[in-house]
Amino acid sequence: MSKTDKYSIFGVNLTLVRNKMELKVIKIMTDILDNYPNHDQCPLCIEDAFALSLNRLPAKYAQFGSIVLKTEYPHDDEIYEIVADSIQQVANKPKHNR
Ligand SMILES: [Zn+2]
């Protein structure tokens, strides 16, 4: 069973209903990761900081491309703070040997 088959209800493909926070976190991480030289930017640590950030943020699901009223909470600067803190935390304690 492929991922697309599992993520469907009565044949309706739900893989395009996404947590909008994912794209916000990806954009912020791309913008600021270079500011953390102690984050090694290996795939595991990037995934780890990404997952940690998303676990600390409320999920905001929406159909891909749908027009959604601007969400008031959390503010972009709060998202930024959580992502920055998550990057730092993973950099301080990577889940692998250095
Ligand atoms: Zn790493």
Encode pLDDT of 3-55 as tens digits: 667 999 999 999 989 898 999 999 999 999 999 999 999 999 999 999 999 99
pLDDT of residue 63: 83
Spatial separation of the C-alpha atoms in residues 89 and 39, rounded to whole Å: 9
Gap from CA of 64 to ligand 1 centroid (Å)? 31
**Ligand 1 centroid to 44 CA: how many Å?**
5
- Measured between alpha carbons, how far is 44 from 28 in angstroms, rounded to an integer? 18
Distance from the alpha carbon of residue 89 to the mean position of ligand 1, in angstroms: 12
Flag whether the pTM goes above 0.95: no
H helix count then E strand count, the chain: 4, 4
In this structure, what is the dihedral angle of CA atoms 6, 8, 9, 12, given to the nearest 10 degrees? -160
- Burial (0-12, 13-18, 19+ Cβ within 10 Å), 40: middle
